[in-house]
Amino acid sequence: MWIILRVLIGVVVLTLLEYYFTRKLNRVFKTLFPDYPRKKKYIIIYLFLVLLNLYPVILIFNAIYAAITKQSVAFPQNIFADYLLLYPFWVLIILILQVSALFFFVDLLKLIFYPLYKKHKHTLYRVQVKIFLALTVFFAIYIPARIIYDYNTVEVRNVEYQKNNLPKELDGFKIAFISDVQADRYTDEKRLKRYVDKINDSKPDLVLVAGDVITSTPDYIENAGKYLGMIKSKYGTYSCVGDHDNWAYRQDYERSLREVSGALNHYNVEMPDNELRYFEIDSSRIGVTFITNTYVSEISETTLQNIASSNKAEFKIFLTHQPQDFLINSAVKNNYNLFLAGHTHGGQITLVFPFVQLTPTLIETRYIKGDFYFNDMLAIVCGGLGMSLAPVRYNSTPEIVLITLKNI
Listed range (120-129, 275-284, 310-319) with the worst mean pLDDT:
120-129
SS (H, E, C) 197-248: HHHHHCCCCEEEECCCCECCCHHHHHHHHHHHCCCCCCCCEEECCCCHHHCC
- Range of lowest pLDDT (37-41, 64-68, 185-189, 378-382): 64-68
| pLDDT average, residue stretch 168-178 | 97
Can you say whether the dihedral through the CA atoms of 39, 42, 47, 53 is positive or negative?
negative
At residue 75, does pLDDT exceed 90? no
Q: What is the pLDDT, as a whole number, of residue 389?
A: 87
Mean pLDDT (whole number) for 86-102: 95
Find the mean pLDDT for residues 77-81: 83
Residue 3 has pLDDT above 60, yes or no: no
Contact between 266 and 225 (Cβ < 8 Å): yes
More confident residue, 304 or 112: 304
Segment 167-181 shows an average pLDDT of 97
Please tell me the distance from the alpha carbon of residue 3 to that of residue 212, in angstroms, as a whole number. 24
Looking at residues 190-196, what average pLDDT do you find? 96
Q: How many Cα atoms sit within 13 Å of 117 on the Cβ side?
A: 13
Supply the angle between the helices 38-69 and 2-32 in degrees, to the nearest 10. Answer: 180
Query: Bigger pLDDT: 239 or 58?
Result: 239
Q: What percentage of the chain reaches a pLDDT higher than 70?
A: 98
Residue 1 confidence (pLDDT)? 53
Q: What is the pLDDT of residue 7?
A: 66
- DSSP letter string, 59-109: HHHHHHHHHHHS---PPP-SHHHIIIIIHHHHHHHHHHHHHHHHHHHHHHH
* pLDDT at position 62: 79
- Is the confidence at residue 2, as pLDDT, over 60? no
Q: Is the pLDDT of residue 307 over 90?
A: yes
pLDDT of residue 9: 80
pLDDT above 60 for 382? yes
Q: What are phi and psi of 347, to 5 degrees?
A: 100, -30
**Measured distance CA(328)–CA(331) in Å, rounded:** 5
CATH dotted code for 156-407? 3.60.21.10
Q: How far is CA 270 from CA 209, 275, 288, 312, in A?
A: 10, 11, 13, 21
When pLDDT is cut at 50, 70 and 90, the band that residue 107 belongs to is confident
| 363-390: burial string, b at 16+ Cβ within 10 Å, e else | eeeebbbeeeeeeebbbbbbbbbbbbeb
- Per-residue confidence (pLDDT) for residue 390, from 0 to 100: 93
Question: Which stretch of DSSP H or E encloses residue 378?
Answer: strand 377-381
So what's the pLDDT on residue 355? 83
* Alpha-carbon radius of gyration of the chain: 24
State pLDDT tens for residues 202-234: 999 999 999 999 998 999 999 999 999 999 999
β-pair type (269-270, 237-239)? parallel
Q: Label residue 115 by pLDDT band (50, 70, 90).
A: confident
Give the chain's mean pLDDT.
93
pLDDT score of 6: 66
Mean pLDDT of 316-340: 98
User: What are the tens digits of pLDDT across the range 11-47?
Assistant: 888 889 999 999 999 999 999 999 999 899 999 999 9
Among 10-19, 61-70, 119-128, 363-372, the range with the most confident prediction by mean pLDDT is: 363-372
pLDDT of 226:
98
> Would you kindly state where each structural domain of the chain is located, as residue ranges?
2-151, 156-407
Q: Which residues contact 147 (CB under 8 A, 6 or more apart)?
A: 90, 91, 392, 393, 394
Neighbours of 5 (CB within 10 A): 9
The pLDDT of residue 181 is 98
Distance CA 134, CA 313 (A): 57
Residue 163 has pLDDT above 80, yes or no: yes
The predicted structure's pLDDT at residue 184: 95
Dihedral (CA of 173, 383, 341, 179) sign? negative
